[in-house]
Amino acid sequence: EGTCDGFFRVVLLGDPGVGKSSLVGIFRREQDRETAEQQQELYQCTLTVDGEDTSLLLMDICEIQKRTDGCDSALRMGHAYIIVYSITDRSSFESASELRIQLRRTRQYENIPIILVGNKTDLVRSREVSVEEGRACAVVFDCKFIETSAVLQHNVQELFEGMVRQIRLRRDGA
């Protein structure tokens, strides 16, 4: 139900430079390493969460899409979304809200899992967006929220496990 060859399509959205490629790159398999250098945008990964396997197709495609149709097809093709901003860049936080609004507009009647991610928590001194602001934004936009550091690999596993749980909640009709 709702999958493509058993994979859930998880699309990453967010301004350039916020860390989308770094976040998905953590799930890059050894054999992908060479192609990843050549800007690969699709990653398959299978996560075991609560004793059950779920396969994700992570789609880091926004920057390609932007050139052609302003992300429109990215907003249509995902089963789930990860909207990333950098806690060191307030304008990327504002873009995240804008993307959430666009997504709601595009997928009005669907209850799609969305996680708002404040990345780069290791850059403590450059923080421009507080945890409270991120959390409040997620409440307003009715999505989950987590802060991560791709560089320290902090909360990245939790992010993707959270995504899997969100997908299962929808699947199980909760």
- Closer to ligand GDP by Cβ: residue 3 or 97: 97
Nearest distance, CB of residue 2 and ligand GDP, angstroms:
26
- In the bound state, the residue with its beta carbon closest to ligand GDP is 19
Q: Site mask, ligand GDP, residues 98-127, x = CB under 6 A?
A: ---------------------xx-xx----
Stretch that binds ligand GDP, among 9-17, 67-75, 93-101, 102-110 (CB under 6 A): 9-17
Q: Is 71 in the site for ligand GDP (CB under 6 A)?
A: no
**Residues 10-69 contacting Mg ion, CB under 5 A:** 20-21
Are the C-beta atoms of residues 123 and 148 closer than 8 Å to each other?
no
User: The tokens of 121 are what?
Assistant: 């928590």
